[in-house]
Amino acid sequence: MVIKDVIVCDVDGERKIDVAIEDGKITAMDENLQDSKMIDAQGAYLLPTLQDSNVTLQDGILSAKNIQAVANEAKSGGVGHIVLNPVLNPSIDNEITLEYAQNSIKDIQDVKIDLMLNALQEDLGLSNIAILLKKGVVYPYMSTIAKNNIAIKIAEYVKMYDVELQCKAEDNSLISSGVMFEGDVSSRLGLSGIPELSEVLHVSRMTEIAKYFNIKILFKSIASPRSIQLISKAKEEGVQVNCEVSLHHLVDCDAACEAFNTIAKLDPPLGNKAMMSELQQLLQEGAIDKLTTLHRPNSPVNKEVAFYDAAYGCSALADALPLYYTKLVKSGLVDMQTLIKLTTDGAKVDVGSSDFVVFDPTKSYRVDNSDSLYNNEELYGEVRYF
């Protein structure tokens, strides 16, 4: 099969070319290719499948059924590689749970699933990081609710095993009572707020730890523009820190929580409109390193309750590529090449590649998912596999 005049786009840019595909693998890329089966691309893209390294399972429950479900959602959204958030029930912080998770993913073929370890146990003590790393987890993950002595021990393990630390910056005393961003909307709704400082303080703290131990840290789902400014300044000084931002925080703000909309109850919380605009500007300036759908789906029983009692998170993975394209590319915030850089680890499309999708931006559909922030919205793009 040959797809004629498809727009191949990866980290190297865009080029229009013919692509031959056989048994799901690219066998040739050239001009004027011929085959008995010819398909006119008609403006479609051929892209590497996306990566999302901040995915949580349904209701935060670790089960084989939920892992299979998230793999199916990933494939629907053009995502070929996901990394599971380890803060689950049960948490991936011991050998038994890790073995169960590994057995649950071993037969999944279409989507690559990697596992992180939760460096903190339930009592905030240290997990057995060394053993879990040796048994196949790709990253240690920690929340900055960890005390300094524990955070330093984690940093020492990270340095010893030369891995990247995935870090959620949050202050335990400031997030414990809050349920959304502290601002005008939270005041109007009479809901306890979480201040921006909850994140900023700990980005600063962990940046200093990264500098002291000379380790790599990826700050997960950053919501504050100030945090990104601190990370950018640290990069200029040679500190190995990067930041991940969710699509939701780039295109939505705390106004989405009006009328006590529990689907907009996210962790970290959506900031105000000014913060959203600043994040968009930082995206265009190249200060953001990675994007995530922050997929954290919930059953209605955990969302159709009072805002204070509702679970955090929303669904987005099944619509990932159309969402990114509609909200960021079609809107003019970034171009397609930049999107691919932000949603893959330098992936390229070449002869021999099998991790790719054909994406037709001329198609559109309406989201039908009550657990999505974008329910009933029209999105552009159809994901197809060959």
Global pTM reads 0.96
State the Cα–Cα distance between residues 148 and 144, nearest whole angstrom. Answer: 9
User: Considering Cα of 146, then 150, then 156, then 158, what sign does the dihedral take?
Assistant: negative
Specify the DSSP class assigned to residue 296. -
Cα-to-chain-centroid distance, residue 185: 26
pLDDT for the residue numbered 386: 80
pLDDT for the residue numbered 176: 87
pLDDT string in tens for the chain (386-residue length): 999 999 999 999 999 999 999 999 999 999 999 988 999 999 999 999 999 999 999 999 999 999 999 999 999 999 999 999 999 999 999 999 999 999 999 999 999 999 999 999 999 999 999 999 999 999 999 999 999 999 999 999 999 999 999 999 999 999 988 999 999 999 999 999 999 999 999 999 999 999 999 999 999 999 999 999 999 999 999 999 999 999 999 999 999 999 999 999 999 999 999 999 999 999 999 999 999 999 999 999 999 999 999 999 999 999 999 999 999 999 999 999 999 999 999 999 999 999 999 999 999 999 999 999 999 999 999 999 98
State the Cα–Cα distance between residues 175 and 182, nearest whole angstrom. Answer: 11
Neighbours of 112 (CB within 10 A): 17
pLDDT for the residue numbered 235: 98
Number of helical H runs and strand E runs in the chain = 12, 17
Q: Where do runs of H (alpha helix) occur along 266-378?
A: 273-284, 320-324, 336-343
One-letter amino acid at 352 equals G
**Strands in the chain per DSSP E:** 2-10, 13-22, 25-30, 38-40, 45-48, 50-55, 79-84, 112-118, 139-143, 164-168, 180-181, 193-194, 216-219, 241-246, 290-292, 356-366, 378-384
pLDDT for the residue numbered 17: 96
One CATH from 3.40.50.1370, 3.20.20.140, 3.40.640.10, 3.40.50.960 for 49-345+367-377: 3.20.20.140
Q: Which of 125, 123, 154, 119 is nearest to 137 (CA)?
A: 119
Q: Which of 234, 335, 240, 225 is nearest to 280 (CA)?
A: 225
- Helix (H) or strand (E) run with residue 230 in it: helix 225-236
pLDDT for the residue numbered 177: 86
Residue in this structure with the two tokens 């960890």, named with its chain if needed: 146
pLDDT for the residue numbered 221: 98
Rounded to 5 degrees, φ, ψ at 40 are: -80, 120
